[in-house]
């Protein structure tokens, strides 16, 4: 795999998405956050701090998910419809480089978005005098970028063999199932029928366990897992991303268009 060609594709995606004014999402988040904090100050009954952080972190996560799902699902189909994929692949570029470059570019945009929204959250918390752990929130943001990178890989995988709309819907489904996967483990322990238990365990193994990368609740209280657990979870996310991109590349290499 040629890093220069991957970098060129990623840079092109970054510029293209940037021109589509996706960074206006950060401005929308800032306005909504200020409004939500002011409203919570009136109705929270003294619990403004924790609720504001919860709302802010949830907003960053959901907006990031929306961008990853909608943009990631359409990246490949958009190139095919415009016939630009044919031109790029006709050059000395493998389809794997094409997929990885697309993933790198969109992940970079998501990273910029998360950083900007986190800085806005910090600013609003300082403005309102709400105590928070900058270190915990920063690490939570980094793991959110990793989670969104994984979801981008999911969107790209679905996008190589389905329509953009279906790929978007499936990406959202993976997100919700991925955050529900820990509950599946608990549920499987209460099931007595062996066949049903195996099905539940199979679903758990099939969907990525996104709760490993979700540090929002701990970050609100300034608490994080130990470094060993965090490193293990980060490695889990990276391995899943590599696996998804490999499968997407394999499917894309067999696609005729």
Question: Any alpha helices (H) in 45-94, and if so which ranges?
Answer: 48-81, 84-90
DSSP for 204-222 reads HHHS--GGGG--HHHHHTT
Q: CA angle 149-72-119, nearest 5°?
A: 50
* Residue 122 predicted with pLDDT over 80: yes
Dihedral (CA of 244, 247, 250, 256) sign: negative
Question: pLDDT tens digit string along 214-233?
Answer: 888 888 787 788 888 889 99
pLDDT band at 132; cut points 50, 70, 90: confident
* Residue 204 predicted with pLDDT over 90: no
Q: What is the mean pLDDT of residues 180-196?
A: 62
Using the structure block, give the residue that is written with the tokens 């990031």.
64
Among 56, 25, 35, smallest CA distance to 141 is for: 56
Question: pLDDT tens digit string along 62-120?
Answer: 988 988 998 888 888 777 776 666 666 666 777 788 889 899 999 999 999 999 889 98
How many independent structural domains does the chain possess?
1
How many helices (H) and strands (E) would you count in the chain?
Answer: 10, 0
Give pLDDT, residue 244: 93
**pTM score > 0.85 for this model?**
yes
Question: pLDDT tens digit string along 3-58?
Answer: 877 888 888 888 887 776 777 888 888 888 777 777 766 655 555 667 778 888 88
Residue 208: both structure tokens together: 């990525």
SS3 20: coil
Alpha-carbon distance 36 to 109, whole Å?
25
Q: What is the mean pLDDT of residues 191-220?
A: 72
Domain span at residue 164?
Answer: 3-253
Q: Which of 29-33, 170-174, 179-183, 195-199 has the highest mean pLDDT?
A: 170-174
Give pLDDT, residue 58: 87
Question: pLDDT tens digit string along 134-171?
Answer: 888 889 999 999 999 999 999 999 988 888 888 899 99
Alpha-carbon distance 158 to 6, whole Å?
20
Dihedral (CA of 13, 147, 114, 41) sign: positive
Question: pLDDT tens digit string along 74-84?
Answer: 888 777 776 66
* Residue 245 predicted with pLDDT over 80: yes
């Amino acid at each position: 795999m040629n890093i220069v060609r991957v970098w060129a594709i990623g840079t092109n995606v970054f510029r293209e998405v940037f021109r589509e004014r996706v960074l206006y999402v950060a401005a929308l988040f800032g306005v909504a956050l200020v409004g939500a904090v002011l409203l919570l100050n009136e109705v929270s009954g003294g619990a403004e701090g924790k609720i504001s952080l919860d709302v802010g972190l949830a907003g960053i996560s959901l907006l990031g998910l929306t961008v990853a799902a909608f943009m990631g699902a359409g990246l490949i189909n958009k190139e095919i419809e415009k016939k630009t994929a044919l031109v790029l692949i006709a050059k000395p570029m493998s389809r794997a480089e094409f997929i990885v470059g697309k993933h790198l570019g969109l992940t970079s945009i998501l990273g910029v978005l998360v950083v900007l929204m986190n800085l806005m959250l910090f600013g609003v918390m300082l403005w309102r005098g709400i105590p928070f752990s900058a270190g915990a929130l920063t690490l939570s943001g980094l793991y959110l970028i990793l989670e969104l990178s994984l979801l981008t890989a999911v969107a790209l995988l679905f996008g190589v063999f389905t329509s953009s709309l279906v790929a978007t819907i499936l990406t959202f489904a993976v997100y919700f199932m991925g955050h529900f996967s820990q509950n599946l483990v608990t549920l499987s322990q209460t099931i007595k029928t062996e066949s049903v238990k195996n099905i539940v365990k199979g679903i758990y193994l099939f969907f990525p366990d996104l709760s490993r990368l979700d540090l929002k609740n701990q970050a609100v209280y300034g608490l994080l897992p130990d470094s060993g657990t965090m490193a293990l979870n980060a490695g889990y996310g990276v391995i899943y991303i590599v696996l998804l991109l490999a499968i997407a590349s394999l499917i894309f290499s067999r696609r005729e268009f």
